[in-house]
Structure 1
Amino acid sequence: MGHSHAHEGEHGHSHLPGGVGDGTILIAVVVNLALTGAQILGGYVADSTALIADGVHNLSDALALVLAFGARRLARRPASPGMSYGWGRAEVVAAFVNYIALIAISVWLGIEALGRMVEPPQVAGGLVMALAGFALLVDMATAALVWRAAKESVNIRAAFLHNLADAAVSVAVILGGALIWAFGWHLADPVLTLLISGVILWHVGQEIGPVMRMLMLAAPAGVDHAALIGAMAGVEGVAGAHHLHLWQIDERRTALSVHLVMRDGADAVMAVRQAKAMLRRDFGIDHATIEAEREGDACSDAGDGHDGHRH
């Protein structure tokens, strides 16, 4: 009976958050790299695992921003025959890589902290506090630079979370340095490092779910599958709907494909138009590929358990 496609908003659009330029991200990268060198060097001098860990985490911040920057540039590329949806999902992949890196860093921090709890080192608390205080200022400044874009991009939000987590690390390192400097409690360094790793893992757990759903081509969270089928079956001339696939292209675009079973004598072209208008209005789905089939005919698509199925 034919196919109909909607292509609104697919071609020639970057779908990128506004308000933050590439130059801003590059500045944040350079500052974080400089901070990384200062903290790692200071950590060796002060014999502080927490400070070295904070420096390594700052390095991950810089790499996260580099990844976010690259994905942001890649996502601007227009759609092509080989990449018909464009490159917007590059930001989703970048976010996933950033979260995996955070998990790896947190596990490493925890292992190092457990090892140092057995025999706490003699840490130079004053130097630790000074460098961690400087790191906190840089972390907060970097987070402020990308805050606007973080509200609209899962990719930039992952990098933003890196900076917030590292700011928390810096606060804890300052506290540990203060306890060591004031009371000689050297166990504070590994204890706080262990707590920090747990906090970072908790934050990642809260954020990685939606990214995984997009990578797995899952339906957007909160979509009622039965209600969607029922709404399409309620279109004039439609006897039923099946072979429904719904997935997120990226954070801002959702796609759908479905077969509509038409009653005898029904106007398939009009039914498809009405179904698309309903999907756009009621479900926010702008890209829909709809095939119309006659009632009683076998499903035209093989696979997915529909082989030879009659309506």
Structure 2
Amino acid sequence: MPHDHSHAHHAGHAHSHGEGLGDRALLWAVVINLCLTAAQIIGGLAADSVALVADGVHNLSDALALVLAFGARKLAARSASPAMSFGWGRAEIIAAFVNYLALIAVSVWLMVEALGRLADPPQVAGGLVMALAGLALVVDLGTAWLTARLARESVNIRAAWLHNLADAGVSVAVLLGGALILAFGWRIADPILTIMISAVILWHIRGDIGPVLRMLMLGAPAQVDDSALREAIRAVPGVEDLHHLHLWQIDERRLSAEMHLVVAEGADPHETRLAVKSVLREHGIGHSTIETESPSSGCADEVGAHAHAHH
């Protein structure tokens, strides 16, 4: 039975494009974020600002998110092995999911903190806090810029990228809140802006986490129309019917299918299978396993199960 052996090499190859450049950008982003974390915590202690120390700890979560994204990217580039026959591509999906969960936790924590401050907004510490918030904004935007190209091609890096944009938003809130407080004495501006930004972050996650969860749950790829695919396969000459069709995503780039194909009497099973594989490729499915049956043989699974039960 002929088989397509290309998928074992594809996992590593998919990440090779611009990998050196992308990895260097990620490493720089991690270093810059760790430096910012240190500056915020030291500055927060000097200015006696709990909020700034908390923001520093939050920024440390960004650095860890980038480390996680970087590690998963390296892991995903590893070749397939007997123990990991599909390769390590799903490491990026798991890392993205962990990053989104962390971002949800941070956003909810920010909202709870802000709600607690609505009743009695604290006094804002002096210019040092605003200066470090400005520095944080520059670093967050710089990190987002460094990882923007990779974010377009990897759901994993996109999660870390969104993490940084969220931080940039928080820094804008601190700056804007500080300006409103200094100009008008509106101490309540800071918690209100924090709640609004947290809501925006959660709204963005709502749209992005769905496809990641779908891949983890072995859901059928959203871009493949199941009924249209079944019709296209049934229209192939020599195909009488199909069943046990399963579609899933190995990782972001690779779709997979398996099915039982009932080949009409007199048709060549090999030629029919090749024609069906061609239809699958037209629908973006590069990896497929097809078991052929004849109308008289019945389903191989049911025949095997019956024989096992009888035995």
Q: TM-score, normalised by structure 1?
A: 0.91
Residue equivalent to 2:298: 298
SS in 2 for 1:172: helix
Distance 2:193 2:45 in 1: 18
Residue 193 of structure 1: CA displacement?
1.7
Answer whether contact 1:246 1:255 (CA < 8 A) is retained.
yes
Mean Cα deviation higher: 50-59 or 268-277: 50-59
Distance 2:10 2:234 in 1: 34
**CA distance 1:122–1:179, change in 2 (3 Å):** same
Answer whether contact 1:50 1:173 (CA < 8 A) is retained.
no
**CA distance 1:192–1:49, change in 2 (3 Å):** farther
1:183-206 Cα deviation digits (max 9, x unpaired): 222222222222221111111112
Residue equivalent to 1:245: 246
Answer whether contact 2:11 2:76 (CA < 8 A) is retained.
no
Question: Are 1:205 and 2:203 an aligned pair?
Answer: no
Mean Cα deviation higher: 133-142 or 117-126: 117-126
Distance 1:307 1:109 in 2: 55
- Where does structure 2 lack aligned partners over 5 or more consecutive residues? 307-311
Residue 53 of structure 1: CA displacement?
4.3
Residue 118 of structure 1: CA displacement?
1.6
Distance 1:274 1:268 in 2: 10
SS in 2 for 1:5: coil
Distance 2:154 2:18 in 1: 10
Answer whether contact 2:47 2:128 (CA < 8 A) is retained.
yes
**CA distance 1:255–1:48, change in 2 (3 Å):** same
Residue 48 of structure 1: CA displacement?
5.0
Distance 2:177 2:238 in 1: 70
**Which of 11, 15, 20 lines up with 2:9 in the alignment?**
11
SS in 1 for 2:153: coil
Identical aligned residues as a percent: 63
Mean Cα deviation higher: 23-32 or 240-249: 23-32
Amino acid at match of 2:231: G
Mean Cα deviation higher: 38-47 or 116-125: 38-47
Answer whether contact 2:22 2:150 (CA < 8 A) is retained.
no
Distance 1:47 1:118 in 2: 21
SS in 2 for 1:221: coil
Amino acid at match of 2:22: G
Distance 1:101 1:40 in 2: 20
Question: Are 1:276 and 2:277 an aligned pair?
Answer: yes
Answer whether contact 1:6 1:289 (CA < 8 A) is retained.
no
1:98-128 Cα deviation digits (max 9, x unpaired): 0000000011111111111121111125223
Answer whether contact 2:150 2:158 (CA < 8 A) is retained.
yes
**CA distance 1:307–1:233, change in 2 (3 Å):** farther
Answer whether contact 1:126 1:177 (CA < 8 A) is retained.
no
Higher relative contact order structure (alpha carbons within 8 Å, sequence separation ≥ 6): 1
Mean Cα deviation higher: 119-128 or 59-68: 119-128
Question: Are 1:228 and 2:251 an aligned pair?
Answer: no
**CA distance 1:194–1:50, change in 2 (3 Å):** farther
Structure 1 stretches of 4+ moved >6 Å: none
Residue equivalent to 2:309: none
Residue equivalent to 2:102: 101
CA root-mean-square deviation? 2.0
Mean Cα deviation higher: 142-151 or 218-227: 218-227
- Number of residue equivalences: 303
Question: Are 1:37 and 2:38 an aligned pair?
Answer: yes
Residue 28 of structure 1: CA displacement?
1.0
Residue equivalent to 1:117: 118
Distance 1:224 1:246 in 2: 10
Distance 2:46 2:115 in 1: 21
